Amino acid sequence: MELYVAALGFGLISVSVIAIAAVGFTMQFGITNMINLAYGEVMIVCAYVAFYVNRAGVNVWAAMIAAALAGAVLSFLLNRFLYAPFQRKGTNLIGMVIISLAASLILANILLPIVGYDTSSYQVDQGPLLRWNGLVLTTAQIAIIVVAVLLMLAIHGLLRYTRLGKAMRATAANPILARNCGIPTQRVIDMVWLLTGALCGVAGVVAGMNSENFAVASGAAYLITIIAAAVLGGAGQPYGAMIGALIIGIVTELSAAAIAPEYKEVVAFTILVLVMVLRPQGLLAKRGALAAAG
Amino acid sequence: MNSYYAATLAVYAAVDIIACIALNLQFGVSGIVNFSFIVFQSIGAYTAAVLSMPPDTANGAYQVYIGGFQLPFPIPWIGGAIAGGLLAIPVGLVVLRKLRSDYQAISLLVLSVIANSVIMNARTFLNGAAGIAQVPGPFSDQVDPLSQTYQLLYVGLTIPCVLLVWLVASRIVNSPFGRSLRAMREHEVAATAIGKNPVQLKMTIFIVGGVIAGLSGAILVGYIAVWAPSEWLYPETIILFAAVIVGGRGNNVGAMLGALLVPVGFFEVTRLIPATIGGWVPPPNLIPAMEWVAIGLLIIGFLWFRPEGVRPEPRRVFGGAPVPEDLVSAGSS
Give the start-to-end residue ranges of the domains of chain B.
Answer: 3-231
Question: What's the confidence (pLDDT) of residue A286?
Answer: 54
pLDDT of residue B328: 63
Residues of B with CB below 8 A from A263's CB? 118, 121
Tens place of pLDDT per residue across chain A (294 aa): 677 888 888 889 999 999 999 999 999 998 988 999 999 999 999 999 999 999 998 888 999 999 999 999 999 999 999 999 999 998 888 899 999 999 999 999 999 988 888 888 888 877 788 777 777 788 888 999 999 999 999 999 999 899 999 999 999 888 899 999 999 999 999 999 999 999 999 999 999 998 878 888 888 888 988 998 998 888 788 899 999 999 999 998 888 888 877 777 788 888 888 887 787 777 776 544 433 333
Distance from CA of B43 to the nearest CA of A (A): 18
Question: Residue A103: its chain B contacts at CB < 8 A?
Answer: 296, 300
Q: In this complex, do A231 and B283 lie within 8 Å of one another by their Cβ atoms?
A: no
Which residues lie below 8 Å from residue B172, measured CB to CB, with a gap of 6+?
A: B25, B29, B178, B181, B205, B208
Burial letters A84-109, b for 16+ CB under 10 A, else e: bebbeeebebbbbbbbbbbbbbbbbb
State residue B333's pLDDT score: 47
Give SS3 for B80: helix
Interface test with B, best of A276, A278, A281, A287 (most B CBs within 10 A): A276
Confidence at residue B133, expressed as pLDDT on a 0 to 100 scale? 86
Distance from CA of B310 to the nearest CA of A (A): 17
What lies within 8 Å, CB to CB, of B94 at 6+ separation is A273, A276, A277, B107
Question: Chain B closest CA to A280's CA: distance in Å?
Answer: 7
Residue B136: the pLDDT is: 86
* B32/B188 Cα distance (integer angstroms): 12
Mean pLDDT per 10-residue section of chain B, whose length is 333 residues: 81 95 95 94 94 79 79 91 96 87 87 90 83 85 82 92 96 93 91 92 96 96 91 91 93 92 83 72 79 92 91 78 67 50
Closest CA to B223 of B64, B1, B16: B16
Q: Which pLDDT score is estimated for A294?
A: 32
Among residues A106, A87, A121, A95, which one has the least CA distance to residue A41?
A106
The domain segmentation of chain A, as residue ranges, is 2-290
Q: List, for residues A249-267, the tens digit of each pLDDT value.
A: 999 888 888 887 777 778 8
In whole angstroms, give the CA distance from residue B42 to residue B35: 13
Q: Is B280 helix (H, G, I), strand (E, B) or coil?
A: strand
Distance from CA of A163 to the nearest CA of B (A): 31
In the chain, the amino acid numbered B286 is L
- Number of neighbouring beta carbons within 10 Å of residue B167: 10
Query: What Rg, from alpha-carbon coordinates, does chain A have?
Result: 19
CATH no., domain A2-290: 1.10.3470
* Cβ under 8 Å to A: B residues 142-161: none
- Give the closest residue to B309 by CA, choosing from B256, B230, B268, B273: B256
pLDDT at residue A291, rounded to an integer: 38
Residue-level pLDDT at A211: 81
Query: What is the predicted pLDDT for the residue at A191?
Result: 95
ipTM for this prediction: 0.88
Distances (CA, A) of A78 to A72, A83, A190, B149: 10, 7, 11, 52
pLDDT of residue A290: 36
Phi, psi at B185, each rounded to 5°? -60, -45
What's the pLDDT score for residue B192?
Answer: 92
Interface mutation target, options A269, A271, A287, chain B, most CBs of B under 10 Å: A269
Closest CA to B255 of B242, B273, B272, B265: B242
